[in-house]
Amino acid sequence: MSPAYKTPEQHDRWHKRTCARCGRHGWFTARRPAGHVCRTCHDKALRVRGQCPACGDERVLPGRRPDDGIVICPDCAGFMMSYRCSRCGHEGKLHGGRLCTRCALADRLNDLLDDGTGRSAPPSDPCQGAAPRCIDPPNTEGSRP
Ligand SMILES: [Zn+2]
Ligand SMILES: [Zn+2]
Ligand SMILES: [Zn+2]
């Protein structure tokens, strides 16, 4: 369901913000304590990894300390949302269903292999369409030359 917009201006007012990182006015992806951030800055920030200088944890460092601009982890930056994959716990950019790139990719692969039952298709049955002997193998032991 998409909300009804009366005017394009209203649409912009709801969805566009000035990015707290790069200062551009446009679509925002996340809301941070420091302000809204655009997709570009959001994704770029999530590629930064290392030891958080505030808590010492080895994590993604998408936050910034307001005082000195040093990159810090989401917890220390007070982010409302977590960047941990809901499946494997890997921290980073999340895709649909709050999955990390690796899990999202694995799901995509499963979808491609899906045989329609919701499970991954088993390796193709060598007996399918083959001669009946495949199902009921004749006793050929010892009868071969
Ligand atoms: Zn930006
Ligand atoms: Zn931290
Ligand atoms: Zn994952």
Tell me how far apart the alpha carbons of residues 134 and 139 are, in angstroms, rounded to a whole number.
12
pTM, rounded to two decimals: 0.66
User: pLDDT tens for residues 52-93?
Assistant: 999 999 999 999 998 898 999 999 999 988 999 999 999 999
Is 64 inside any structural domain? no
**Does 95 reside within a domain?**
yes
Residue 94 falls inside a structural domain: yes
Question: 64 is written with which tokens?
Answer: 């910034």
**For 39-53, 80-94, 112-126, 130-144, which range has the lowest pLDDT when averaged over its residues?**
130-144
Does 110 fall in a domain? yes
> Which residues are paired to 25 by β-bridges?
18
- Assigned domain for 97 exists: yes
92 assigned to some structural domain: yes
Domain that holds residue 102: 84-116
Instruction: Find the 19 Cα to ligand 3 centroid distance in Å.
Output: 28
Q: Which ligand has the nearest atom to the CA of 42?
A: 1
pLDDT tens for each residue of 32-45:
888 999 999 999 99
The domain tally of the chain equals 1
Residues in the chain: 145
Residue 108 belongs to a domain: yes
Instruction: Compute the distance from residue 85 Cα to the ligand 3 centre, in Å.
Output: 5
Distance 43 CA to ligand 1 centre (A): 10
In the reported structure, the alpha carbon of residue 92 is separated from the centroid of ligand 3 by a whole-number distance in angstroms of 9
